[in-house]
Homo-oligomer: A and B are copies of this chain.
Amino acid sequence: MDIDVPSSFDERDWGRPVDGGPVRFAVLGLGWFAPDVAIPAIEESDYCETTVVVSGGREKAERVAEEKGVAHALTYDDYADGEASDAYDAVYVCTPNALHLPHVETAAELGKDVLCEKPLEANGERARKCVEACEAGGVELMTAYRMHTTRSIRWVRDVVQDGAIGDPVHARGAFSYNLIAAGEDMDQWRLNPDLAGGGPLMDLGVYPMNTSRFVLDADPEAVHATTVEGPPEFDGLEKYVAFTMEFPDGQVAECDSGYEVAGDNYFEVGGTHGRIRVDVPFNVDADRTITVSKGGEEQVVEVEEPSEMVEEFDYFATGVLTDMEIEPDGRHGYEDMRIADAIYESGESGGRIEL
């Protein structure tokens, strides 16, 4: 086989000399992910530092600030009022989806660059407003799609784009998690339509959606979808979605995502002359396997790579501190929200929706 899957990925192919920094972050939204994953990654990064934490309640902000050795603890109101704005250069927005917009608008007004968790907002219109606010404020906006900076996925994109499996014909991917079987709280924001903007599609389905766009290096022209409504606790949100994206030149991506189906986590691209599959691409720092099949041979490699969130934060900081263009920028994240809107429209109406 003429493809050699590396078992480790030693280089930041986007790496370049960085002057200045560090980029000092205000971290907004102190659920489990920011304190447990994001703030430690910032600590470990080359070009970033957490100087401010922001939460709904002062007590929580102060507790996290103390635990993590962060200088400033703010409430959302403090943040909106511009308090301690000299103490940070950028914000990392890690709140429920529908709360991204006001925080992004504040950052843009304050001239702070923004790294905003995926999905960019709760729907296309609000995502567009995030983009417009940052463009008006002249600040960077990156949608925190880890897959863009995860080295193994960048390698997959490169070999696919280099034609190593021939012309890419289709992508397939799924990301599902049975949160009911896991006994999760049915009152969480992910099951609140006003805060989440959608069900598993917004939380999990955006991974295979965006990774298809990233690896195929193209944007869909149309989608069609099936959505299956969840139990009453889901308040009208889907519990399952299957969607097909039609790309230019006949490329197709088929994805699904669910909240009441056994865990599922894979991404695959089929070309005219081979296939590349990644198992467990979407969980952060997961045990990941890449399988390449070509010409009747198969290679299965367990890959190792550095902390994905460190990669993501340093990539963002490099975009802020150098002239490197950030690929998953605001417009890129907005495109996914347009696609999600179209998927929901198709699920309702039954038609193919042009984008």
Q: Contact residues of A with B, CB < 8 Å?
A: 165-166, 169-170, 172, 174, 176, 178, 180-181, 222, 224-226, 228-229, 240, 242, 244, 246, 250, 252, 254, 256, 258, 260-264, 270-275, 293-294, 350-352
Contacts and interface: CB of A to CB of B under 8 A. Distances in A.
A293 to B, nearest CB: 7
Contacts of A254: 242, 254, 256
26 contacts: A169-B260, A170-B242, A170-B258, A172-B174, A172-B256, A178-B272, A178-B273, A224-B224, A224-B350, A224-B352, A226-B244, A228-B252, A240-B252, A242-B254, A254-B254, A258-B270, A261-B271, A262-B271, A262-B272, A262-B274, A262-B275, A262-B293, A263-B293, A264-B270, A264-B275, A351-B352
Report copies per complex: 2
Contacts of A350: 222, 224, 351-352
Contact of A261 (B178, B242, B260, B272): B272
Contact of A262 (B242, B252, B262, B294): B294
Nearest to A251: B228
A166 B180 CA distance: 13
A226 B242 contact: no
A256 B242 CA distance: 13
A252 B244 CA distance: 13
